[in-house]
Amino acid sequence: MHQDIDRILITQEQLQEKVSEMGKQLAAEYHRHTPIFVGALNGSAIFMADLTRACPIPLALDFMAVSSYGSATRSSGVVRILKDLDRNIEDRHVLIVEDIVDTGLTLSYLIDHLSARHPASIKVCALLDKHERRTTDVRLDYVGFPIPDEFVVGYGLDYNDLYRNLPYIGVLKPHLYAG
């Protein structure tokens, strides 16, 4: 285990098993629709790569890059779009792929932003759900793991741009970000 990690919350094997299950579920739901999976960079890149490969149906992939103002460990909900979608989503079935939903403010912004373009449907697939912290009423259609209110890294999630390449989800040692 990496020296900055306090403990592993979700192992590599648990991630593989869950992502493969979610991919099959999405394939069953979307096989007639050629959906567009929309990931929020950078956090969802690794989840997206594994999820789409576990979902053996025709689908398109697109990414948005958003930056939310706030401290390094808490988002403020004020979101700035750094990269928008490359394709038109009108009348398409959109699945937002999120690494983690915390307060829900970023996701709520994304849903509003994409809804304005009149897709046929919008659903949300989140790997991690920190439900205790939710301050907005957003619906998660597919959830990998509910997790407690702790700051986690790995499998795409960073702290100061590090730890994204850890193959598991771990709790960062609090002294590394508390000060």
Q: Which residues bind ligand 5GP (CB under 6 A)?
A: 43, 68, 75, 77, 99-107, 130, 151-153, 157-159
CB of 20 or CB of 42, closer to ligand 5GP:
42
Least distance (Å) between residue 129 CB and ligand 5GP:
10
Least distance (Å) between residue 148 CB and ligand 5GP:
10
Least distance (Å) between residue 161 CB and ligand 5GP:
10
Q: If DSSP codes are grouped into helix, strand and coil, which group holds residue 163?
A: coil
Cα angle, residue 99 at apex, residues 97 and 105 outer, rounded to 5°: 85
Residues marked as catalytic? 102
What b/e readout covers 152-164, taking b as 16+ CB neighbours within 10 angstroms? bbbbbbbbeeebb
Residue 17, C-beta contacts closer than 8 angstroms, at least 6 positions apart: none
CB of 142 or CB of 159, closer to ligand 5GP:
159
DSSP string across 90-142 = TT-EEEEEEEEESSSHHHHHHHHHHHTT--SEEEEEEEEE-GGG--S----SE
Least distance (Å) between residue 158 CB and ligand 5GP:
5
CB of 52 or CB of 103, closer to ligand 5GP:
103
What is d(CA 174, CA 5) in angstroms, rounded to the nearest whole number? 9
